[in-house]
Amino acid sequence: MTGRGRKLTEQYLDKILMTVEKPGRYTGNEYNMVVKDPGSVKINFAFAFPDVYEVAMSHLGMKIMYHLLNDHRDIYCERVFAPWVDMEKKMREGRIPLFSLETKRPIEEFDFVGFTLQYEMSYTNVINMLDLGNIPLMSTERGDDHPIIIAGGPCAYNPEPLADFIDIFVLGEGEEVTFEILELYMDCKQSGWDREGFLKRAATIQGVYVPKFYHVQYNDDGTVGSVTPLYDGIPKVIKKRVIKNLDDSYFPDKMIVPYINIVHDRITLELFRGCTRGCRFCQAGMIYRPVREKSVKRLVQSARNLISSTGYEELSLSSLSTTDYKQLDKLIEQLMEENLDKKVGLSLPSLRLDSLEKEYIQKVIKVRKTGLTFAPEAGTQRLRDVINKNVTDQDLDKAVRFAFEAGWHNIKLYFMIGLPTETEEDLYGIVEMAKRVLDIYKSVKNGIQRKPVRVTISTSSFVPKPFTPFQWVSQCTVDELKEKQRMLKQLLRIKGVVYNWHDPELSFLEGVFARGDRRLGRVLLEAWRRGCKFDGWSDQLNMAGWRAAFDSTGIRPKFYSSRKRPEGEVLPWDHIDVGITKDFLLREYRRALKGITTEDCRVHCKNCGLSYFGEGLC
């Protein structure tokens, strides 16, 4: 977007909104939105989510940070999301720069623009939003009068593909470190503003990575040789930040209530952070360690506050493995007792087959039946042992029988295809599992007229991720994944079974950028110039543009996706420390190839490396 753009008036915005899909994405003024005078604060912060409103407003992390920052008297945090293609067209035609929802100000007028990176296929949206906001795309091109571009979230743990575009990456949990960065900014503003000096001082804060201050050297074969800081005092290895006590951490007592339907339109309670199950494909289970639980008292009080301030009629208990919460039975009992008369439903996502108790289901359905989804991940015990998914066929049988006896007739099962060592037998196992669920439904005699059963089988394609035991493995090609999907489509033509699958080309691109280095920044820029954006949306995926971007930059995508990495290779993210050591990941990788499982860390410590966080935490 060229030029400074035109001033956005209320009248002109109304005119535009009459012509686009879902104008509620851009209006703001929702219930519980924070209103401040931008001129009365020291820092104006734009929280940017590189996707549409419905996705962004479902994200718990955004809700926490939005209210946390706004509770500070010197900070005004506003929201900005990626406009959908119809709205973007109107904005570019009218030379309207990207604006915030709260005050409709252009984001170039803010002190900070903070992106959350939840998935790799949002990267071109980051570039597009910077361009729409009249902000120079490259960090090296920004001066003292431009906002600081900051980014965090799970994808920030391998920041290299976006290194050219982001000024500051925050690694780990942002509640504390964000304030340290903003307080430093206020100090620098008072003592004489210098962008470069601020960034150098910020780079010394634990959990902060300023990529422009690091030099990457490559070997002749294209692999990374080393990543070294350019200045003294800047750490060689950047350690993530961790909130040690969740009960003492911030959680809002109110949340914005959207005017339009969003993906997860309900209250979300965060039970705990981290996971010790050790699933070898799961990046979240590694990078979010250690496990830290909230107390029942704190959770019940949060639920009470949020129900009162929002009017929602559904509570979702959120974590990586909800049924691992130690006091789940007590929590459900108190939540149901307090909210039964209010008709507030309770949903339990992320259910593990081996820890689901019949009593949980019976308590939850006192109000209404909410969604019930299980994730066996693989169709055979052999492959579940490889990925360390410590569940059995018996666990599945017991769980679905509980559900059917309680009156459910819709069950969803999630699997991954393309896992390391996968064979045709493992795919047949998915089919056999679907048949077995149907048989269990037929065998349940509950004395009431039953509805037709519906078993939904969903498969996603395995993508190797950094900081997992599978970060060294090769990814299946698009053709291989399509053949696996073709086989399942044919075999799952069974009455009562529905089969859903993910686009393998999308998974291929995700795999490239998940394990990429900063040379991929050239590809992102070229792909964006060729019209690639909203790549995570199947109807917007522009593979022709992506292929042309790789061809024109001379970068081979299979170097990042299909290549098995030697154990001794320097990985692009090796200068990032998430607490899990490379030795631990290698041990788990070798155990996986032998089909040897590893028990839960809560049972016995596996020396993963997290002990450096201190006594009593891990």
Does some domain include residue 238? no
pLDDT score of 186:
96
Contact between residue 36 and residue 78 where contact means Cβ atoms under 8 Å apart:
no
Ordered DSSP codes for 118-174: -SGGGHHHHHHHHHHTT--SSGGG--TTSPEEEEESGGGGS-GGGTTT-SEEE-B-H
pLDDT score of 367:
47
Residue 209 bridge partners (DSSP)? 169
How many other CB atoms are there within 10 angstroms of residue 213's CB atom? Answer: 15
Structure tokens at 472: 């060294």
Structure tokens at 379: 């169709």
Q: Tell me the H-state helices in 30-115.
A: 53-56, 60-70, 85-93
Please state, in angstroms and rounded to a whole number, the distance separating the CA atoms of residues 196 and 211: 13
Contact between residue 253 and residue 306 where contact means Cβ atoms under 8 Å apart:
yes
**Taking the CA of residue 548 as centre, how many other CA atoms within 13 Å lie in the half-sphere pointing to its CB?**
12
DSSP E strands, 284-344:
292-293, 314-318
Does some domain include residue 566? no
Contact between residue 98 and residue 25 where contact means Cβ atoms under 8 Å apart:
no
Please state, in angstroms and rounded to a whole number, the distance separating the CA atoms of residues 19 and 94: 13
Does some domain include residue 587? yes
Span 354-377, pLDDT tens digits: 655 656 566 655 544 555 788 899
pLDDT at 592 over 70: yes
Contact between residue 273 and residue 67 where contact means Cβ atoms under 8 Å apart:
no
Span 528-547, pLDDT tens digits: 999 999 999 989 999 999 99
pLDDT score of 7:
72
How many other CB atoms are there within 10 angstroms of residue 226's CB atom? Answer: 14
pLDDT at 270 over 80: yes
Most confident stretch, 310-314, 345-349, 460-464: 460-464
DSSP state of 36: -
Residue 405's pLDDT band, with cuts at 50, 70 and 90, is confident
Work out the percent of the chain whose per-residue pLDDT is above 70. Answer: 93
Q: What is the CA radius of gyration of the chain?
A: 24
**Taking the CA of residue 375 as centre, how many other CA atoms within 13 Å lie in the half-sphere pointing to its CB?**
16
* 13 residue type, one letter: L
Three-class secondary structure of residue 239 per DSSP: strand
Most confident stretch, 182-196, 350-364, 465-479: 465-479
**Taking the CA of residue 108 as centre, how many other CA atoms within 13 Å lie in the half-sphere pointing to its CB?**
21
Structure tokens at 538: 């199947």
- Which helix (H) or strand (E) segment holds residue 393: the answer is helix 393-405
pLDDT at 518 over 50: yes
Residue at token pair 């720069």 = 97
Please state, in angstroms and rounded to a whole number, the distance separating the CA atoms of residues 533 and 529: 10
Q: What are phi and psi of 273, to 5 degrees?
A: -115, 150
Burial of 215 (0-12, 13-18, 19+ CB in 10 A): exposed
Number of structural domains the chain divides into: 1
Q: Which residue has the higher pLDDT, 75 or 276?
A: 75
Neighbour-count burial for 561-584, b at 16+ CB within 10 Å, e otherwise: bbbebeeeebbbbebbbbbbeeeb
Peptide bond into 252 cis (omega under 30): no
Contact between residue 369 and residue 407 where contact means Cβ atoms under 8 Å apart:
yes
Q: Which of 582, 580, 584, 574 is nearest to 223 (CA)?
A: 574
Does some domain include residue 118? no
Distance of CA 242 to the CA centre of its chain: 17
Contact between residue 239 and residue 546 where contact means Cβ atoms under 8 Å apart:
no
Span 193-211, pLDDT tens digits: 899 999 999 999 999 999 9
pLDDT at 6 over 70: no
Does some domain include residue 156? no
Ordered DSSP codes for 296-308: HHHHHHHHHHHHH
- Which helix (H) or strand (E) segment holds residue 267: the answer is strand 267-270
pTM, full prediction? 0.94
Does some domain include residue 169? no
Please state, in angstroms and rounded to a whole number, the distance separating the CA atoms of residues 292 and 279: 18
Burial of 78 (0-12, 13-18, 19+ CB in 10 A): buried
The CATH number assigned to the domain holding 358 equals 3.20.20.70
Contact between residue 82 and residue 125 where contact means Cβ atoms under 8 Å apart:
yes
Does some domain include residue 147? no
Please state, in angstroms and rounded to a whole number, the distance separating the CA atoms of residues 349 and 24: 28
Range(s) of the domain holding residue 487: 267-502+579-593
Span 332-347, pLDDT tens digits: 889 988 887 788 888 7
Q: Which residue has the higher pLDDT, 372 or 411?
A: 411
What does the mean pLDDT of the chain come to? 92
Residue 613's pLDDT band, with cuts at 50, 70 and 90, is low
Contact between residue 580 and residue 286 where contact means Cβ atoms under 8 Å apart:
yes
Q: Which of 455, 363, 351 is nearest to 404 (CA)?
A: 455
**Taking the CA of residue 313 as centre, how many other CA atoms within 13 Å lie in the half-sphere pointing to its CB?**
7
pLDDT score of 2:
46
Please state, in angstroms and rounded to a whole number, the distance separating the CA atoms of residues 53 and 62: 12
Residue 239 bridge partners (DSSP)? 577
pLDDT at 548 over 90: yes
Does some domain include residue 485? yes
pLDDT at 3 over 70: no
Work out the percent of the chain whose per-residue pLDDT is above 90. Answer: 77
- Which helix (H) or strand (E) segment holds residue 214: the answer is strand 214-218
pLDDT at 246 over 80: yes
Burial of 605 (0-12, 13-18, 19+ CB in 10 A): exposed
DSSP state of 612: G
**What is the mean predicted confidence (pLDDT) over 207-231?**
97
